[in-house]
Amino acid sequence: TAFSTDGDAWKFHRKITVAILNRDAVHYTAKILNQKLRRLQSFLQTKEGEIVDFQDVSYKLILDVLFQWAFGLEVDQFNK
């Protein structure tokens, strides 16, 4: 990793990290995450008083965020 290497390996890891964590990418990710968390909140409000499978909800959230972020696809797992 970038924290435990030096020389050319450090330069390589730093280059990739900087590309991933640039300002636009962070804002884009935050926008998607905010949108998906609001959808999760709406979903959970419909389940008030019920037991919710946290693992299933987490999986759906991660899937929604990753597909939107990586591929630009809206899979909307909370409406299925």
Token code pair at residue 30:
């935050």
Amino acid at residue number 60:
K
**3-state class of 10 per DSSP?**
helix
Q: pLDDT at position 1, please?
A: 55
Which pTM value belongs to this model? 0.73
pLDDT in tens, 31-49: 999 999 999 999 999 999 9
Confidence grade of residue 21 (pLDDT, cut at 50, 70, 90): confident
Tell me the average pLDDT of the chain.
Answer: 90
Mean pLDDT of 43-71: 95
**3-state class of 12 per DSSP?**
helix
Q: pLDDT at position 3, please?
A: 64
Q: What secondary structure, in 3-state letters, does 15-28 show?
A: HHHHHHCCHHHHHH
